[in-house]
């Protein structure tokens, strides 16, 4: 993963350990001493990668406060730490009400139901999943009870959407979206109980909700306790009843997780399946604001959408609720200056409110800063819909912000500085999850298993196949056209490949016939450097895909000893492996990394086809079938320079290059180490990165500190790019 990332993972784990009470994890020691609902869900996801026992205890502790009607409260209070927070049990007064649990002090509201997804992650990431089964059997009915409560009490008309009745239930406490709703509460006619805020402390007021909002927060709590937390009575009198895309998208995602858990436990899945379908349908029909391509909040009391665009509106990507057309419009808005576009520079993504709207405040809680948990969900959603380049950019910021500025509650979207509580638990937990998922390891030793014996010699992929009847001079153009068709149909923007679908496709069968024609193709027919570059880059990428399919590789090209040297095409009577194409042709017959000699010996006839010089940008165009490779693109002779330029910009500004000015350090892909000579040595690598970084501040840092910068390398992820 790289030394710095490894250190920060250790730091994140130490934060969780420091906030651990023996039963649950405090969000932060100073301000949040109790157990918070969805915080614990995110924390369990972090623990799932390295401490299954803590993940299980975390969720068990939270569910000890579940109400008899199924509601999972926003806070489970620790009696030993009372007096440090407001509001606490003496203000909520839930004790003795008909649904509150006996002997456990809780608040009287809930939060977004992330928990089924957290439970699924705990099971999937466990080293010994069978040992987690008893926990799954214990918690599964409790998860069902929580979801049943939501659909029974918060969706009494069966719309598929559940409402929230307090801004604190949304997870985005003082968001601008609540302003117009809260203003309807006439405090002049209300008798507010006395209270004293404890959330300010050493915090500056501009980073926290204002008193005018807090008075209304308190008014709602007072209403709930006055009505004895009777849901039917609350529905009649509460002025704050809101369908939200955040809460309902998290609910839909957890319904999806419940379906998977039901299959694991061999339980009926009909009920969560019906919930999943109903909520997804309702989100896309009721909450989508077609006029401006965004999901918004819906006010039940006024029967209208609230025209306030926050990062919550992107959460239907997380649950798969958005249609393809809706997702496309969401992406256009998300990837704009409003929310920090790809390669925009001078900003971090994704702020929780439109940066170009009146009322944006870069330091104020939910009115502008970046929250790691919201971005983590949006990152997952972007990947789900195939916007993986943007997803990778968000992942980079999830990693970079804590690396550079510490593990804070939230961050400035302009300069990245941290605000709120330091050593914040869900920031640490989701950093761990993002780091593990971004830099997964397959192990260094090749997996020799089933196919190594078939590769004692070369494995020729275009032999024994009837060639397409194509004139030689037309072969490159037809081949590139077919490769383009395969790419557009079966590769995502980030180069994730659906190998199984390709294998069965008509396009691939047609390509194999064309590839067979390469056996007699005259390579001298390739005219000029542009045509040669496009031909050999596209061919390299496709021979790798062909080899993975032909050899039925499941997890990594490391399964096959010598994959890049033994898989070959016969072209013009010569054998060409991926290594031959990369090092012999595209790198102008250079020495491969960790090899003593050039790819082609002095008497090798293939030397005649080598390019005259190496363009280092090829390293962001060649795809080795692994996650740490550059994304698969399609390259054309007429546009090859612009296409290589775009590929390079995308790579240098991805999670494969992290700039840490505070430590005078850059953390970069192993590609730069293996091919340092192609970039002009160590200084050349730094110059190259500095040239392509889009952020002006980072670019200036690289230029100023060139001689003092420490280079650190990320672990190369050899997992298959699927």
Catalytic residue positions? 173, 409
Q: How far apart are CA 67 and CA 258, in angstroms?
A: 20
CB 422 within 8 A of CB 533: no
Listed residue (484, 480, 572, 575) closest to 530, CA to CA: 480
Q: Please, which residues have CB within 8 angstroms of residue 105's CB and are 6 or more apart in sequence? A: 76, 77, 79, 89, 94, 95
Please name the helix (run of DSSP H) or strand (run of DSSP E) that holds residue 645, with its range, or none: helix 640-652
**Residue 490: HSE in the Cβ half-sphere, 13 Å Cα cutoff:** 21
Please name which of 451, 313, 314, 445 lies closest in space to residue 387, comparing C-alpha atoms.
Answer: 314
Task: Identify the DSSP state of 195.
Answer: -
**Cβ neighbours, 10 Å, residue 710:** 13
Q: Which residue has the tokens 């067979």?
A: 516
| SS3 of residue 583 by DSSP | helix
Q: CA 86, CA 88: separation in Å to the nearest integer?
A: 5
> And the tokens for 247?
């809460």
d(CA 679, CA 687): 9
Q: DSSP label at 176?
A: G
SS3 659: strand
Among 46, 112, 110, 104, CA closest to 79: 104
Residue 480 CB: number of other CB atoms within 10 A?
A: 21
Please say whether the beta carbons of 547 and 567 come within 8 A: yes
Rounded Cα gap, residues 409 and 529, in angstroms: 52
Cα 447 to Cα 676: distance, rounded to the nearest angstrom: 28
Mapping DSSP to helix (H, G, I), strand (E, B) and coil, where does residue 678 land?
helix
**Cβ neighbourhood burial of 221 (10 Å; 0-12, 13-18, 19+):** buried
CA-CA distance, 37 to 131, in Å (whole number)? 25
User: 242 and 169 in contact (C-beta within 8 Å)?
Assistant: no
- Through-space distance between the first and last CA atoms of the chain, rounded to whole angstroms: 20
Is residue 56 within 8 A of residue 22, CB to CB? The reply is no
Residue 669: alpha-carbon gap to chain centroid: 19
Is 187 in contact with 216 (CB distance < 8 Å)?
Answer: yes
- Among candidate residues 280, 282, 183, the one with its CA nearest the CA of residue 240: 183
Helix H, strand E, coil C: the string for 679-718 is HCHHHHHHHHHHHHCCCHHHHHHHHHCHHHCEEEECCCCC
Cβ of 492: how many Cβ atoms within 10 Å? 19
- Cα distances (Å, whole numbers) of residue 29 to 54, 76, 103, 373, 422: 18, 15, 24, 19, 9
Neighbouring residues of 88: CB distance < 8 A, sequence distance ≥ 6: 77, 82
- Residue 344, helix vs strand vs coil: coil
């Amino acid at each position: 993963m790289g030394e710095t990332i490894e250190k920060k993972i250790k730091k994140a784990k130490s934060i969780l350990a420091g906030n651990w009470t023996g039963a649950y994890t405090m969000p932060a020691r100073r301000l949040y001493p109790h157990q918070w609902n969805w915080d614990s869900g995110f924390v369990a996801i972090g623990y799932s990668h390295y401490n299954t026992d803590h993940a299980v205890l975390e969720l068990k502790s939270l569910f000890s406060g579940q109400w008899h009607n199924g509601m999972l409260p926003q806070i489970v209070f620790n009696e030993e730490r009372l007096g440090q927070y407001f509001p606490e049990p003496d203000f909520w007064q839930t004790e003795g009400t008909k649904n509150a649990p006996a002997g456990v002090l809780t608040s009287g509201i809930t939060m977004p139901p992330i928990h089924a997804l957290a439970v699924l992650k705990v099971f999937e990431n466990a080293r010994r999943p069978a040992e987690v089964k008893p926990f799954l059997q214990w918690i599964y009915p409790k998860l069902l009870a929580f979801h049943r409560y939501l659909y029974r009490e918060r969706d009494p008309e069966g719309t598929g959407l559940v409402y929230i009745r307090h801004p604190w239930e949304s997870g985005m406490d003082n968001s601008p979206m609540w302003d117009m709703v809260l203003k309807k509460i006439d405090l002049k006619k209300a008798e507010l109980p006395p209270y004293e805020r404890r959330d300010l402390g050493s915090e500056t007021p501009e980073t926290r909700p204002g008193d005018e909002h807090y008075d209304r927060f308190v008014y709602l709590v007072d209403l709930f306790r006055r009505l004895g937390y009777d849901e039917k009575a609350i529905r009649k009198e509460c002025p704050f009843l809101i369908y939200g895309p955040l809460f309902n998208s998290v609910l839909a995602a957890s319904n999806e997780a419940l379906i998977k858990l039901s299959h694991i436990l061999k339980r009926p899945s009909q009920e969560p399946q019906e919930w999943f379908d109903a909520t997804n349908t309702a989100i896309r029909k009721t909450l989508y604001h077609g006029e401006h391509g965004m999901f918004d909040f819906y006010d039940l009391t006024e029967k209208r959408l609230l025209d306030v665009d926050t990062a919550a509106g992107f959460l239907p990507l997380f649950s798969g609720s958005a249609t393809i057309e809706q997702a496309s419009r969401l992406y256009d808005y998300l990837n704009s200056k409003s929310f920090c576009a790809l390669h925009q520079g001078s900003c971090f993504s994704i702020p929780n409110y439109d940066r170009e709207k009146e009322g944006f405040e870069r330091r104020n809680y939910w009115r502008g800063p970046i929250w790691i948990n919201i971005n983590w969900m949006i990152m997952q959603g972007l990947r789900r819909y195939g916007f993986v380049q943007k997803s990778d950019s968000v992942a980079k910021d999830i990693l970079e912000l804590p690396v550079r500025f510490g593990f804070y509650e939230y961050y400035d979207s302009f300069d990245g500085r941290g605000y709120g509580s330091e050593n914040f638990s869900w920031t640490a937990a989701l950093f761990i999850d993002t780091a593990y998922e971004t830099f997964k390891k397959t192990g260094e030793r090749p997996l020799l298993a089933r196919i190594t014996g078939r590769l004692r010699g070369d494995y020729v992929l275009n032999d024994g196949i009837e060639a397409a009847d194509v004139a030689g001079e037309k072969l490159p153009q037809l081949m590139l056209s077919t490769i383009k068709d395969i790419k557009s149909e079966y590769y995502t923007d980030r180069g994730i490949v659906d190998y199984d679908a390709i294998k069965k496709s008509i396009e691939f069968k047609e390509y194999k016939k064309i590839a067979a024609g390469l056996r007699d193709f005259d390579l001298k027919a390739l005219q000029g450097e542009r045509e040669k570059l496009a031909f050999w880059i596209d061919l390299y990428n496709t021979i790798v895909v062909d080899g993975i399919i032909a050899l039925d590789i499941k997890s990594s090209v490391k399964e096959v000893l010598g994959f890049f040297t033994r898989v070959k095409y016969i072209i013009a009577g010569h054998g060409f492996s991926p290594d031959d194409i990369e090092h012999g042709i595209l790198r102008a017959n250079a020495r491969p990394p960790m090899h003593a000699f050039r790819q082609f010996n002095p008497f090798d006839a293939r030397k005649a086809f080598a390019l005259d010089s190496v363009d280092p940008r090829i390293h962001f165009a060649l795809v080795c079938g692994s996650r740490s490779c550059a994304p698969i693109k399609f390259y054309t002779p007429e546009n090859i320079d612009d296409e290589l330029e775009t590929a390079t910009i995308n790579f240098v500004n991805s999670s494969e290059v992290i700039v840490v000015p505070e430590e005078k350090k850059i953390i970069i892909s192993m590609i730069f180490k293996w091919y340092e000579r192609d970039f002009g040595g160590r200084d050349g690598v730094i110059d190259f990165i500095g040239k392509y970084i889009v952020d002006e501040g980072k670019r200036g840092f690289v230029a100023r500190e060139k001689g003092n910068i420490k280079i650190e390398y990320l672990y190369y992820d050899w997992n298959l790019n699927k």
